[in-house]
Amino acid sequence: MVHREGKGERSIIQLKSVSKIYKMGKENLTVLDGINLDIEEGEFVAIMGPSGSGKSTLANVIGGLDKVNSGTILVDGQELNKLNDKKLSEYRNKKIGFVFQAFNLIPTFTAQENVMLPLILMGVSSKMRKQKAYDCLKIVGLENRVTHKPNELSGGERQRVSIARALVNEPKIIIADEPTGNLDSKKSAEIISILKKLNSNSKITLIVITHDPNVAHEADRILNMQDGKISR
């Protein structure tokens, strides 16, 4: 078992001997190799490791974006392997918020509309989703950028919009895949401080994949990945 420094009372995420293998021609590429992992509710976990070590795949698997070949993934009482597309989508919609390195905002949408996207998918009424999106933009300090399109925003602002988007459905878990990878150190610090605030104020479990030791340093726990395994 991996040593834990959890601060919550129970595990929100439990991975048991999770393996994922890509078939590349005749070769099999093992991306996740029998991973066992428990993450406590409200924990801030940083995942580090070289490129190709499987950290993004691990995050995607937990986020319900990717499927595994074997093992079980239990998140908040739901066994992800057993969910169909609809249930899995609902899971992503309600319990997970994603933040990406490339921000992945929809270029034709305003900041507010981008933040509204999960609510649109959920079928929330127009009035309520506008309000919620505005509230979330306020949390990340962008209340005066509501009607701006992504190309009218700086990199840091874009990432804050995407954090607001991850936040809008009040998820239990936010998964950030190199959220500061495209930002300078000052902006990185801002982003991490927002995420950290969310983690401590709203008890949102935070999983951050990063190359930046300064970012990892902020985490409750650092997982180092190597060749599809957690090495420490």
Partner 1 sequence: MNITDYVALGFRNIWRRKSRSFLTILAVVIGAISIIIMLSLVLGAKQVATQQLESIDGLTLVSVSANPEMQTNGNLINTDSSGDETGNKLNDTTVENVKNIPHVVDATPIIGVWVKSVKIENQDKKYRINLIAYNPDTKVLKVPVIAGRTLQAGDMDKIVIGAELLRNFGYANHPEDIIGKKVVLYTNNYVDWGTEPPKPPDNADNSYWDNLQKQSHEINATIIGVVKGGFDEGTNYITLDWGRRLMTSVNWKYDDSRKQEAEQNRSILEQQLRVEQQNQKKLFMTQLMNVPDNQARNALLEEWNKNWEKNISEQLNALNTKTNANLLVLSKDDGILREGYGSILVRADATINIESVGKEIKKLGLGAQTAKDMLDNIEKIFGLIGLIIGAIGGIVLFVAALGIINTMIMATYERTREIGVMRACGATRANIRNLFIFEAGLLGFLGGVIGLILSYGLAKIGNSIGNQIAAAQSVPLNNIISFPLWLIVSVIILTTVIGILAGLFPAIRASYLDPVEALRYE
2 binds partner 1 (CB under 8 A): no
131 binds partner 1 (CB under 8 A): no
Q: Between the CA of residue 40 and those of 3, 51, 101, 195, 206, what are the distances in Å?
A: 12, 26, 25, 17, 10
Q: Between the CA of residue 58 and those of 29, 65, 108, 138, 227, what are the distances in Å?
A: 15, 10, 31, 31, 12
51 binds partner 1 (CB under 8 A): no
Q: In 10 A of CB 197, how many CB atoms? A: 13
* Cα separation, 182 vs 155, whole angstroms: 8
Segment contacting partner 1 by CB under 8 A, of 27-35, 97-105, 147-155, 224-232: 97-105
According to CB under 8 A, which one of 8, 52, 65, 227 is a site residue for partner 1? 65
21 binds partner 1 (CB under 8 A): no
92 binds partner 1 (CB under 8 A): yes
94 binds partner 1 (CB under 8 A): yes
Looking only at residues 205 through 224 of this chain, which bind partner 1 when binding is defined by CB under 8 A?
Answer: none
Segment contacting partner 1 by CB under 8 A, of 9-17, 68-76, 117-125, 181-189: 117-125
CB of 166 to partner 1, least distance (A): 9
Segment contacting partner 1 by CB under 8 A, of 27-35, 99-107, 135-143, 211-219: 99-107
Looking only at residues 141 through 180 of this chain, which bind partner 1 when binding is defined by CB under 8 A?
Answer: 165, 169
Binding residues for partner 1 (CB under 8 A): 60, 63, 65-66, 85-86, 89-94, 98, 100, 104-106, 108, 117-118, 120-123, 165, 169
